Structure formats: structure tokens, C-alpha cells
Amino acid sequence: MKALIDAARAVRENAYAPYSGYKVGAALLGKSGRIYAGCNFENASFGAGACAERVALGAAIAAGERRFDAICVCGGDLSVTPCGICRQALAEFTNNNNLRVICCAPEGDEVREYTLGELLPFGFTLKA
């Protein structure tokens, strides 16, 4: 878990947030053991930006990873959790919404942990 937290904190420093000033980093742990990092970026045309979680997910998908064990999200404080769109995007690649969601602040040892199912109890799922 320490490597995941460290990766989220490190990539948060690269976030581009000139409008909100709210930097977020995310690190996604694939079933392979690889960590994929992403940070948020904003744009003057607000819809053209992206959340850190989906940037990390995109990097993982581009590398061929499709299943994940955990994601760490690092924002301004412990209250950070993935937004609804990010929760739904992550649900596409998890089994029974059991993905561990670890939330942390830029500094300190305290974390909050949830399952994706707790954060997205009635998400859309792929029906086979």
C-alpha cells in the first residue's frame, strides 16, 4: 500500500489545476502488480479536462491491463474520493465492485479506505 500511496502523492505534483487549484493524483494497482499513475488536468473549456483516476485508468488500459486490486487517490485532504464518473469508469474493470479505494492527503499517515461498492452501490454493470 505504501508504494501506491507514494505514487499517488508524487504524480499529484504534476497536476494541472490553474482554475480550481485542486490537484489530485491517482495510482491504480493492476492485478499484474504494476502501478499506473495519473493526475487531473483542467482546461478553459471545463469539459475538456480529466480526473486523475480516469487518467490512471487510461494509462493502464493502454498498457493492456484490464483488472485491478486497488486505487489510491490523493487530493487536498482525506475527504477526497473518486467522483461519480470515475467510480463508474472503474466499475467496468472490477469484479463485484470489490476494488479497494484508498484516500489520502498529500502528507501524513492517515488514510481512509472503502470498497468501490460502498462508493457506488448501484452502478451500471456489463451484463453477459
**In this structure, what CATH number is given to the domain that contains residue 10?**
3.40.140.10
- Structure confidence at residue 124 (pLDDT): 85
Helix axes 52-62, 84-91, angle to 10 degrees: 20
d(C-alpha 128, C-alpha 35), whole Å: 28
Residue 79 lies in a domain: yes
What total of structural domains would you count in the chain?
Answer: 1
Residue 85 lies in a domain: yes
Q: pTM for the complete prediction?
A: 0.95
pLDDT tens digits for range 104-119: 999 999 999 999 999 9
pLDDT tens digits for range 24-65: 999 999 999 999 999 999 999 989 999 999 999 999 999 999
Mean pLDDT in residue range 12-25: 98
Mean pLDDT in residue range 5-17: 98
Tell me the residue range of the domain where 37 lies: 2-119
The residue type at 61: I
Catalytic residue from among 53, 65, 107, 118: 53
Residue 53 annotated to the active site: yes
